[in-house]
Amino acid sequence: MNQSKLGAYEKHSNCFFAPHKIYEDEKLRELSHAERDFLIALCHLRNRCGDKNGWFWHVDRSFNDKYGRKMGFETLGFGSSTCKRVRKKLVELGLIETKPHTVKGGAWPATMYRINPKLFHNTVDHSGLRLKTMMDSGPGPP
């Protein structure tokens, strides 16, 4: 496979960093499918759109981006009430931070998201080759 070399903050559309803890931690295993899927969607968006501090915005309803692609959680199968319920639970668990945001030139409000960086700490040896803490280096690929 021929892949280009990516810089520190360049995004890759075919893969993204997702935390193992959501499958390994007993407390997080109790997340519903919708909550887990929403968190994974946030990980994907963080990789694609996150700034150097990990913040990115998204909206619940669907919209067309400047290239005409459908975007928004609605296009991923999440209804507005599901987004609100799941967002509230993930904030309560300390998995994400949110703050209100208004899209430039947009007529609807958006939400700014940041995934808790502690989710990306991994001290488990998954490969059998290393026993060190792997830490997220920022919004780009690890």
* Domains: count for the chain: 1
- Residue 4: HSE in the Cβ half-sphere, 13 Å Cα cutoff: 8
- The CATH number of residue 32's host domain is 1.10.10
Q: Which residue has the tokens 């009430």?
A: 81
Quick check: is 60 in a domain?
yes
Q: Which residues of 85-120 are buried (b: 16+ CB within 10 A; e: fewer)?
A: bbbebbeeeebbeeeebeeeeeeeebbebbbbeebb
Quick check: is 129 in a domain?
no
Judged against a pLDDT cut of 70, whether residue 39 lies above it is answered with: yes
63-114, pLDDT tens digit by residue? 777 788 777 888 888 888 999 999 999 999 999 999 988 766 666 678 899 9
Quick check: is 103 in a domain?
yes
> In terms of pLDDT, which residue wins out, 43 or 75?
43
Quick check: is 71 in a domain?
yes
Judged against a pLDDT cut of 50, whether residue 133 lies above it is answered with: no
**Range of the structural domain that residue 102 is part of:** 21-120
pTM: 0.69
Q: Which residue has the tokens 């931690």?
A: 25
